[in-house]
């Protein structure tokens, strides 16, 4: 009798649980999402070197606002010294309106071995979605800004002065979902000033491996019109990373 009563209670509770939580139940979409990726390379034997790069992207997207932050780090060294060390921070806050959005943005770079060791840009402006559907999205932005560039120290200029100027920033952000597990992104940004101009192309190809894990290939190309003597105008960074996404 006791066993029959226990079985009845168990079946009753199970039926109630299924009634409260249907088998096809899914968590409601979250306003918050994040991406964390990293890549590591170590060479030994004839060549002793190592390199690391990491990136974190945080997004809080509501009906009225979108807050986005991207943090990047690059490091490389050989058996004798550090050969590359760079940190990027990108912050943007957007207020959505009927025809698009109004944004305020900050871009900050510390580059130990770059032609400019410290770059800070703040800008504001207007953006809108030129294309927006399930597979393709193209956003365009334009607005004024202010840029601070500190050149690298050299033998000819041991104490360089920072360049400060008003700029016009324009950007195009493209996202293409090739199929369910593969996507391609490309961001093109131009900053035009009276004494210097830059163009940056940031591309990535992402292929989902399983669930929230993906393999990502990225390339960042930046062209600077005016650089200190002895520096190159174009900088390129290529990455091969494992990426994890959660919401």
Q: Could you tell me where the DSSP H helices lie in the chain?
A: 2-20
Q: How far is CA 17 from the centre of its chain?
A: 42
Residue 15, domain member (yes or no)? no
pLDDT in tens, the chain (247 residues): 444 445 444 544 444 444 454 555 455 667 899 999 999 877 666 557 789 999 999 999 999 999 999 999 999 988 788 888 999 999 999 999 999 999 999 999 999 888 899 999 999 999 999 999 989 999 999 999 999 999 988 777 778 899 999 999 999 999 999 988 999 999 999 999 999 999 999 999 999 998 899 999 999 999 999 988 888 899 999 999 999 998 7
Kindly list the distances between the CA atom of residue 25 and the CA atoms of 15, 72, 92, 209, 210, in Å, as whole numbers in the listed order.
Answer: 15, 36, 34, 24, 21
Decide: pTM greater than 0.75.
Answer: yes
Q: What is the CATH number of the domain that holds 49?
A: 2.40.160.40
User: 116 is in which domain, residue-wise?
Assistant: 32-246
Residue 209, domain member (yes or no)? yes
Written as six digits, the tokens of 105 are 């943005």
Residue 17, domain member (yes or no)? no
Residue 121, domain member (yes or no)? yes
Residue 23, domain member (yes or no)? no
Residue 22, domain member (yes or no)? no
Residue 133, domain member (yes or no)? yes
| DSSP assignment of 53-120 | EEEEEEEEE-SSEEEEEEEEEEEEEESSSEEEEEEEEEEEEEEEETTEEEEEEEEEEEETTSSEEEEE
The total number of structural domains in the chain stands at 1
Residue 14, domain member (yes or no)? no
């Amino acid at each position: 009798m006791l066993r029959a009563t226990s079985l009845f209670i168990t079946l009753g509770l199970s039926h109630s649980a299924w009634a409260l939580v249907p088998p096809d139940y899914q968590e409601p979409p979250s306003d918050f999402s994040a991406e964390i990726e990293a890549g590591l390379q170590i060479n030994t034997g004839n060549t002793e070197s190592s390199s690391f790069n990491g990136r974190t992207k945080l997004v809080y997207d509501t009906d009225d606002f979108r807050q986005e932050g991207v943090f990047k780090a690059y490091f490389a060294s050989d058996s004798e010294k550090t050969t590359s060390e760079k940190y990027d921070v990108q912050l943007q806050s957007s207020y959505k309106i009927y025809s698009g959005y109004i944004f305020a943005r900050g871009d900050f770079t510390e580059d130990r071995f770059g032609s400019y060791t410290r770059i800070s840009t703040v800008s504001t402006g207007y953006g809108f979605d030129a294309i927006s559907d399930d597979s393709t999205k193209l956003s365009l932005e334009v607005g004024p800004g202010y840029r601070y560039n500190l050149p690298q120290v050299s033998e000819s200029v041991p104490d360089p002065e920072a360049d400060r100027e008003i700029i016009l920033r324009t950007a195009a952000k493209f996202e293409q979902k090739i199929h369910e597990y593969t996507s391609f992104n490309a961001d093109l940004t131009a900053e035009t000033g009276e004494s210097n101009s830059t163009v940056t192309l940031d591309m990535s190809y992402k292929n989902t491996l399983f669930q929230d894990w993906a393999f990502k290939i990225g390339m960042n190309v930046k062209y600077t019109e005016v650089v200190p003597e002895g520096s190159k105008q174009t900088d390129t960074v290529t990455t091969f990373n494992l990426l994890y996404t959660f919401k």
